[in-house]
Structure 1
Amino acid sequence: MSAAEEILDVVDEQDRVVGQAPRGEVYARGLIHRCVFVRVRDAEGRFFVHRRTPTKLVFPSMYDMFVGGVVGAGESYDEAALREAEEELGVRGLPRPEHLFTFLYDSAGVAGKWWSAVYEVRCDLPVNPQAEEVAWHAFLTEEELAGRLGDWAWVPDGLAAHERLREHLGR
């Protein structure tokens, strides 16, 4: 099954499930759906940063400071956060990511709106990122990440999650 054929829960403005549809249809029609964003830190406290592959349906070839993706039909945010983090990092046995907050993101016409659950996890395992998802990766210090915010083309939903996370943490 292709990514566009994956079945997602369609939700309303209150994050209640109102139906299901293939991902491609959800994006094309701008239907509200669910996503997870997982901020990954290594043992030294550095952040996992990557560039998405050019084959991604949304925001191809852009940089991201989160791993994650869509929540599948019938899947919980918590289940999706762990699944997506392990898949994208190419690891098994991560601790369960900690949920920090959830917000409704509006892509301003790119692919509609999506509920965005933001998590954090520590990964002490050697990573082997999924080649279909990750074109390049590195662990960056907070200073290195901040220095690249204005220089690199970042996914807009990840930037929104990053800004809200900084507010959430009071920074």
Structure 2
Amino acid sequence: MDAMSAPGTSQPLNADELLDIVDAQDRVVGQASRGEATARRLRHRCVFVLARDADDRIFVHRRTPEKLVFPSLYDMFVGGVVGAGESYDDAARREAEEELGVHGLSPAPLFRFLYESAEHTWWSAVYEARTPAAVEPQAEEVAWHSFLTEAELADRLDAWPWVPDGLAAWQRLTLWRSAPGRA
């Protein structure tokens, strides 16, 4: 979830790229470079996209060891940071298409939550998208991938090392889906 491109381009952004810094209510209070936001634990915005194939299997991947945040860990979401002035929806589409190597996705927004740990804090928008099974994951982002059923994913939750923010998003998604009126 680290690599990012400028809205409407395929040019990679770097640690100097600007992010919106937000408060506890997700209101923009300033801007900072991505590197500064990470180093100083400045709250910013991220997107998480659960990508499912036509058989309802979930795209699961292991991040590359070169990743700035959570290297070599497994994730059940694709996504990344939201650039300064970029909407959550635009970031979700951009990140999912880049990481999966496909075009024409329409991620559906589900909910938002504030992720906080001792090292990181970001507002997180969770989406779901249908993707073709024939994906071409971005080599800079994805070291390994597969489509897993929910049961296969559940069997691996305690066995594989997962990114903590993705695991938090998965747990919240599970609760959100079980809420009355969501079935």
- The two structures have a TM-score, normalised by structure 1, of 0.95
Q: 1:153 pairs with 118, 141, 161, which one?
A: 161
User: Structure 1 stretch 120-129 or stretch 52-61: which is displaced more?
Assistant: 120-129
Unaligned runs of 5+ in 2: 1-11
Map Cα deviations across residues 122-169 of structure 1 (whole Å, 9 max, x no partner).
112520000000000000011110010001000000000000000000
Whether 1:101 and 2:111 are equivalent positions in the alignment is yes
Measure, in 2, the Cα distance between the counterparts of 1:2 and 1:84. Answer: 12
Measure, in 2, the Cα distance between the counterparts of 1:166 and 1:107. Answer: 20
2:137 alignment counterpart: 129
Measure, in 1, the Cα distance between the counterparts of 2:139 and 2:112. Answer: 28
1:107 Cα deviation (Å)?
A: 2.1
Q: Helix, strand or coil for the counterpart of 2:178?
A: coil
Identity %: 70
Whether 1:47 and 2:58 are equivalent positions in the alignment is yes
Alignment of 1:5-154 (within 5 A): 5-94=16-105, 96-108=106-118, 110=119, 112-124=120-132, 126-154=134-162
Runs of 4+ in structure 1 over 2 Å off: none
Unaligned runs of 5+ in 1: none
Map Cα deviations across residues 80-101 of structure 1 (whole Å, 9 max, x no partner).
000000000011112x111000
Q: Helix, strand or coil for the counterpart of 2:15?
A: helix
Kindly tell me the number of residue pairs found equivalent between the two proteins: 168
Q: Helix, strand or coil for the counterpart of 1:5?
A: coil
Q: What letter matches 1:104 in structure 2?
A: L
Q: What letter matches 1:162 in structure 2?
A: W
Q: For the Cα contact (< 8 Å) 1:91–1:125, is it kept in 2?
A: no
Whether 1:164 and 2:172 are equivalent positions in the alignment is yes
